[in-house]
């Protein structure tokens, strides 16, 4: 279309439209979203070219307007331009906030929050449980305690934070015309979006500033650390902020932007995976039974699940991988080319081209997968394929330099809560409904959800 180009393809469920187009036109397509030339990548082979062979050239992000504003003018890891500043922030994330050791140290948080979730589910019996409501609450509490050392979401002030987080998630999904047709930027002034974002940024900043101030006060009291409210993301960031001697430094806005990255990256993605796993298990009772047998055989009557137990649960890991293949929470991974023209698989690709890797289509590509439309966790049982960014047929966490640094954090949370829910309960759909009755339509706004919340009945065993 004039001015808009192929922009209408980005409405509703773009990963579906782009997959259909790629079946016709191939794994590399050049589209024009407004004035932005965009390369659509739809095969593992082409993704490898972008995210491994030429990764350094495709390690930039598109400067989306609203998201940039929300994240303190891109002072965070996700949106900061590729370069030395990003490298420093990334090292904070990988080495300090989300290292394997740190993730293990948060086991007690997962344990305590999972037992609260289990109690809530028990209380609902014999009525149905709304898993769409319960999973985001659970992931929210886990992230909140990891970030701030305590669950702010339960206090009066914290309830305000929950409302702010909901609006943040909505605004983060707001990719509009102005991101692709810059001269139409007046539209967001006229339709009130600019004002709404400015107002929201102020509210959020006040809240985060309050958190920092409060933490600075309580940190003076060493007793706080002894009571188990110590070492959390905010503490680590405050230490880096106060320590001018190291190689890495951040300012006050940097602390807030990085904390927001954790909330944006960690809540919606992890809770939607949990909802999709439970959906697929309810649709495939034999998979559910096999998984419960594995979990119950390994745990026997043991109440507390440890990381060592989870290591032995190979079928659980296969179920999670299959869910991430079939329902990647971020179906479209966006990158941008740097200032170098390149040749990709014989095609000339101009500097500055936006790249959209359709991870959803790649997970369903018959070139890479046998019977891709079937949910079959067994395909991963004797397969070395993993989602850590080395196997390009399975890239729910992206790959390369800008691949997700939160894999260990989210996988530890997902495995732990699923093992608990399937050890302690039997699950079925309400009112005698069968798995094949489940509505599988999706809703997409940055993250891919079920359109209709998942309701299920849990019976304690």
* Footprint of ligand HEM (CB under 6 A): 77-78, 90, 93, 98, 261-262, 265-266, 269-270, 273, 329-330, 333, 335, 396-400, 402-406, 409-410
Q: Which CB, 76 or 365, lies closer to ligand HEM? A: 76
> If we measure between CA atoms, which residue out of 40, 10, 26 comes closest to residue 353?
40
Q: 49-54 long-range contacts, Cβ below 8 Å, gap at least 24?
A: 49/344, 49/345, 50/335, 50/344, 50/355, 50/357, 51/335, 51/357, 51/389, 51/392, 51/395, 51/398, 51/399, 51/400, 51/403, 52/392, 52/399, 52/400, 54/342, 54/344
Q: Cα-flanking dihedrals φ and ψ of residue 455, to 5°? A: -110, 135
Which residue is at the shortest CB distance from ligand HEM? 398
Tell me which H or E stretch contains 335: strand 332-336
Q: Which CB, 299 or 356, lies closer to ligand HEM? A: 356
Six-digit token string for 28: 């590399």
CB of 357 to ligand HEM, least distance (A): 8
Could you tell me the CA-to-CA distances from 278 to 121, 133, 272, 281, 300 in Å, in that order? 14, 14, 10, 5, 22
Q: Which CB, 321 or 379, lies closer to ligand HEM? A: 321
| 408 dihedral zone (left: phi>0; alpha: psi -120 to 50; beta) | alpha
Q: Which CB, 295 or 333, lies closer to ligand HEM? A: 333
Give the Cα separation of 336 and 413 in Å (integer).
Answer: 31
Q: Is the dihedral of CA 309, 311, 316, 320 positive or negative?
A: positive
> If we measure between CA atoms, which residue out of 297, 298, 330, 284 comes closest to residue 15?
330
CB of 79 to ligand HEM, least distance (A): 7
Q: Which CB, 31 or 259, lies closer to ligand HEM? A: 259
Instruction: Judge contact between 76 and 85, C-beta under 8 A.
Output: no
CB of 61 to ligand HEM, least distance (A): 7
Give burial (CB, 10 Å; 0-12/13-18/19+) of 188: buried
CB of 106 to ligand HEM, least distance (A): 11
Q: Which CB, 5 or 338, lies closer to ligand HEM? A: 338
CB of 232 to ligand HEM, least distance (A): 12
Q: Which CB, 327 or 379, lies closer to ligand HEM? A: 327
CB of 96 to ligand HEM, least distance (A): 12
Q: Which CB, 298 or 357, lies closer to ligand HEM? A: 357
CB of 70 to ligand HEM, least distance (A): 14
CB of 408 to ligand HEM, least distance (A): 9
């Amino acid at each position: 279309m004039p001015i808009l180009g192929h922009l209408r393809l980005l409405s509703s469920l773009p990963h579906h439209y782009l997959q259909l187009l790629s079946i016709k036109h191939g794994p590399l397509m050049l589209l024009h979203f407004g004035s932005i030339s965009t390369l659509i990548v739809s095969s593992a082979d082409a993704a490898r070219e972008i995210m491994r062979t030429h990764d350094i050239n495709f390690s930039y992000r598109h400067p989306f307007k609203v998201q940039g504003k929300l994240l303190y003018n891109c002072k965070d890891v996700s949106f900061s331009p590729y370069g030395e500043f990003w490298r420093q922030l990334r090292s904070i994330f990988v080495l300090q906030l989300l290292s394997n050791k740190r993730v293990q140290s948060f086991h007690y948080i997962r344990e305590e929050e999972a037992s609260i979730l289990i109690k809530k589910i028990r209380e609902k019996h014999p009525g149905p449980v709304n898993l769409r409501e319960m999973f985001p609450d659970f992931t929210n509490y886990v992230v909140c305690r990891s970030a701030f050392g305590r669950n702010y979401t339960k206090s009066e002030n914290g309830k305000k934070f929950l409302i702010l987080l909901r609006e943040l998630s909505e605004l983060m999904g707001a990719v509009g015309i102005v991101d692709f047709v810059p001269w139409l930027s007046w539209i967001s002034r006229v339709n009130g979006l600019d004002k709404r974002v400015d107002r929201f940024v102020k509210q959020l900043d006040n809240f985060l500033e309050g958190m920092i101030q409060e933490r600075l006060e309580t940190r003076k009291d060493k007793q706080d650390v002894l009571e188990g409210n110590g070492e959390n993301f905010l503490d680590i960031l405050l230490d880096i902020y106060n320590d001018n001697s190291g190689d890495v430094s951040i300012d006050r806005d940097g602390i807030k932007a990085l904390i927001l990255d954790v909330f944006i990256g960690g809540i919606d993605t992890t809770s939607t995976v949990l909802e999709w796993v439970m959906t697929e298990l309810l649709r495939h009772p034999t998979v559910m039974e096999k998984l419960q047998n594995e979990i119950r055989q390994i745990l026997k009557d043991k109440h507390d699940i440890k990381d060592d137990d989870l290591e032995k649960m190979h079928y659980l890991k296969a179920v999670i991988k299959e869910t991430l293949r079939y329902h990647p929470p971020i179906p479209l991974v966006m990158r941008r080319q740097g200032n170098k023209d390149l040749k990709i698989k014989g095609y000339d690709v101009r500097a500055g081209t936006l790249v959209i890797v359709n991870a959803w289509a790649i997970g369903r590509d018959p070139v890479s997968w046998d019977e891709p439309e079937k949910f079959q966790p067994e395909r991963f049982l004797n397969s070395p394929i993993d989602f850590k960014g080395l196997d390009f047929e399975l890239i729910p966490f992206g790959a390369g330099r800008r691949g997700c640094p939160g894999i260990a954090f989210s996988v530890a949370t997902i495995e732990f809560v699923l093992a608990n829910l399937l050890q302690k309960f039997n699950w079925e759909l309400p009112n005698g409904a069968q798995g094949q009755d489940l509505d599988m339509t999706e809703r997409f706004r940055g993250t891919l959800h079920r359109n209709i919340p998942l309701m299920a009945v849990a019976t304690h065993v």
